[in-house]
Amino acid sequence: MNIGIFGKRQEGQSMVEVAFALPVLLVLVIGIVELGHALTAYNQTINAAREGARFGSMGGSDTAIETIVQGATAQLVNYTEENSDLYVVRAELTGNWPACSVISDTFSCNLLIDDENLDTACLSPDELMARMDTGQMVTCDLDLIAVDLHYRSPSLLGLPLVKQLSEATPMRSLAVMRMESPRPLSAICNAYPIAVHRSLFTGKNKGDAITDILNGTDEGKFGWLRWPYDPSGGSSDTLADALDRPTTSEFQNALDPTDTHLSVGDWIWANTGVGNDSKVRAALDSLINKGWIRVVVWDQHSYEGGSNGKYHAVNFAIVQLTSYYLPGTNKISIIFEGFDSTGCVE
């Protein structure tokens, strides 16, 4: 009889202990999950800042750096004006070690993504210098670029208090790099004569399909390109030839014929003479089986009469062509693999 009572007391004591321990365990599990999510987001923020700085160090423009940063992460992180601040800082150093300093007239700071709820400020010249390892320099005469990315990571579980604590502490990643020398001529940008509007890549991640992109000059459409100027506005023959061999050795900037290196910021002639041609179809069939191709990402179009239409290159993307339909609607479908600027910088 006494043993039964003792056993019941032990059982009751165990239940009380579990009742006390369970909330603690739940808090620990929630903390581990949220911390893991935050660390992953932080690592991606570091990578995004580095990718942006690396691109900028090779001559990329600020606008293109923004695109690189936004496209450098997986689906977990999406840098927008609701959760991020993005600064691009450029400066020139002068003097000899250890008396290195920033030339004030060359210091610039460009805010590209602005979350008004994030209380951040631009990097100062002193902060920039603090990031430099000047002890290994003999002279400080060099140009620098810094990408300063602030990100307010949302809570994964969205629980009360945890959500407030998570979003109240923004992450920051600062990448500082020296500007590289211009690329050699061998690193020309070999692209295919297809321009896809930048809006189609917004929010897209590696492997996402973008279907039924209509041909045209409006937002969300694609256009055919021609590399050299052609008074006729282009033809199906020139398009088929450019689709067969991804080279831009014949490229001429539509605003500067002496510029023969296709890069971010250039204006490219549109090919307005495209029809349902057998040569074009054969070239597109070949591309469907080829795998990854580099295409132009455009943001502006200038139409000054058929033969003078042109697209502005804001970036380059790696895609897979999955299908096309030339008669009537004239559309293509692609799979997005990521942005790529190798050999295509300003």
User: What pLDDT sits at residue 144?
Assistant: 87
For residues 59 and 166, state if they share a domain. yes
**Comparing 54-63, 98-107, 238-247, 318-327, which segment has the lowest mean pLDDT?**
54-63
For residues 240 and 142, state if they share a domain. no
For residues 217 and 173, state if they share a domain. no
Q: Name which of 311, 221, 218 is nearest 264 in CA terms.
A: 311
**Residue of 253 and 19 predicted with greater confidence:** 253
Please state, rounded to an integer, the average pLDDT across all residues of the chain: 80
Structural domains counted in the chain: 2
* pLDDT of 137 strictly over 80: no
Start-to-end CA span in the chain (Å)? 90
Give the best-scoring range by mean pLDDT among 111-115, 317-321, 328-332: 111-115
Q: Residue 162 — very low, low, confident or very high, per pLDDT cuts 50/70/90?
A: low
* pLDDT of 147 strictly over 90: yes
For the residues of 235-304, what is the DSSP string, one character each? Answer: -HHHHHHHHHS---TT--BTTBTT--S--TT-EEEE-----S-HHHHHHHHHHHTT-EEEEEEEEEEE-S
For residues 113 and 223, state if they share a domain. no
For residues 274 and 298, state if they share a domain. yes
Q: Name which of 50, 176, 68, 49 is nearest 124 in CA terms.
A: 176
CB 301 within 8 A of CB 309: yes
Range list of H helices, the chain: 2-57, 62-71, 125-130, 162-168, 236-244, 278-288
CB 296 within 8 A of CB 170: no
For residues 177 and 191, state if they share a domain. no
Please state, in angstroms and rounded to a whole number, the distance separating the CA atoms of residues 220 and 284: 21
Q: Residue 96 — very low, low, confident or very high, per pLDDT cuts 50/70/90?
A: confident
User: What pLDDT sits at residue 66?
Assistant: 85
* CA of residue 310 relative to chain centroid, distance: 23
Q: What is the CA radius of gyration of the chain?
A: 27
Q: At what angle do helices 236-244 and 278-288 cross, to 10 degrees?
A: 20
Q: 3-state DSSP call for residue 339?
A: strand
For residue 27, give its domain range: 21-181
- Per DSSP bridges, beta strands 108-113 and 84-94 are antiparallel
Domain boundary among 124, 148, 181: 181
Q: How many other β-carbons are positioned within 10 Å of the β-carbon of residue 105?
A: 7
For residues 190 and 177, state if they share a domain. no
Mind listing the pLDDT tens digit for each residue in 99-122?
788 888 889 999 999 998 888 999
For residues 173 and 201, state if they share a domain. no
Q: At what angle do helices 62-71 and 2-57 cross, to 10 degrees?
A: 150
Domain boundary among 153, 181, 209: 181
User: What pLDDT sits at residue 95?
Assistant: 79
* pLDDT of 55 strictly over 90: no
For residues 40 and 136, state if they share a domain. yes
The answer to whether residue 54 sits within a structural domain is: yes
The answer to whether residue 158 sits within a structural domain is: yes
Q: How many other β-carbons are positioned within 10 Å of the β-carbon of residue 136?
A: 7
Please state, in angstroms and rounded to a whole number, the distance separating the CA atoms of residues 237 and 253: 21
Domain boundary among 181, 203, 224: 181
The answer to whether residue 13 sits within a structural domain is: no
For residues 120 and 177, state if they share a domain. yes
For residues 164 and 204, state if they share a domain. no
The answer to whether residue 15 sits within a structural domain is: no
For residues 50 and 175, state if they share a domain. yes
Q: Residue 231 — very low, low, confident or very high, per pLDDT cuts 50/70/90?
A: confident
Please state, in angstroms and rounded to a whole number, the distance separating the CA atoms of residues 172 and 314: 26
In Å, how far are 30, 188, 265, 345 from 183, measured between CA atoms? 49, 8, 16, 9
Backbone angles phi, psi at 86, to 5 degrees: -130, 120
The answer to whether residue 212 sits within a structural domain is: yes
Please state, in angstroms and rounded to a whole number, the distance separating the CA atoms of residues 103 and 105: 6
The answer to whether residue 55 sits within a structural domain is: yes
CB 316 within 8 A of CB 200: no
The answer to whether residue 16 sits within a structural domain is: no
The answer to whether residue 97 sits within a structural domain is: yes
